[in-house]
Structure 1
Amino acid sequence: MSTITFSSAAVLPARPATRLRLTARGRRVVLAVAAVPLAVGIAFAAISGGSAMASGEQTATATFATVTVMPGDTLWSIAEGIAPEADPRDVIGDITRLNLLRGGELQIGQELAIPAQYSE
C-alpha cells in the first residue's frame, strides 16, 4: 500500500492583499469627486422644480358626455347613435382612444366617455 505525504515546502502561503492608503488630502479629493454628481442632481432638481409650483391661475377642465352600455350594445351601434352623419369607424377609433379600450370589449353598465366633437 502506498501513502502520499505533503511537505510544508509544497504549500505556498497566500500573499496579503495590498491595501490602498489615502492621505487626508486624498480622502478629501475622493469625497469631492463622489459629491459632484449629487450636487449636480440637487441643483437640477432645484432649478427645474420651480415650474411645478402651484399658481393661482385657473386651469381648464375637460368635461365629457357619457353613454352607458346597455345589453346588446356594440361600439358600432353606439357610434351610429351618437354621430349618424360621421363614418362609424372614425367614431369608434375616437371612443376607443379616449376610453383606452382594448379589443372593443364592453361590459354592461360601463360608462363610455364620448369625444367632444360628437357630444354636441
Structure 2
Amino acid sequence: MSTLDITAPAFAPRVPATRLRLTARGRRVLAALAALPAVLALAFAIVSGGGALASGEGGAPAGAFTQVTVLPGDTLWSIAQDAAPSADPRDVVDEIIRLNALSSGALVAGQTISLPVDIASR
C-alpha cells in the first residue's frame, strides 16, 4: 500500500524584482516631459502680455512711475483708492504688487513703493 501525504509548501517561491532600465531615447522623452510646463508657461507669458509691455502701449511712457512713502495705517487698498478713485481697487492693488514685486500685501510705515503713472488716468 502507498500513502499519499498532501501538505502545502513551506515557502512561496520569490519572483525576482525587475529593475527599470531607461534607454537614451527614454531619458530624452522624460526630460522633454519635465521641461514642458516651463516652456508652456514662457509661451503663455509672451503671448498674453509680454508684447504689450515691450511695445510701451498705453498713454504713459514705458517704465513711468511715481514713488509713494507708506504712512502708518496705510494699506495697499487705501493707496490704490487714493491713486485711482475711478478704477477698481483690486486691479490697482494687483498692479502695485507686480510693479514692486511684493511677496505679500503687508506694508511697513516708511516703506517706499512705486505706483504706475497711468493708473491715475483711469
**If the TM-score is normalised by the length of the shorter chain, which range does it land in?**
0.3 to 0.5
Q: Which of the pair has more CA radius of gyration?
A: 1
- TM-score of the two chains, using structure 2 as the length reference: 0.46
- TM-score of the two chains, using structure 1 as the length reference: 0.46
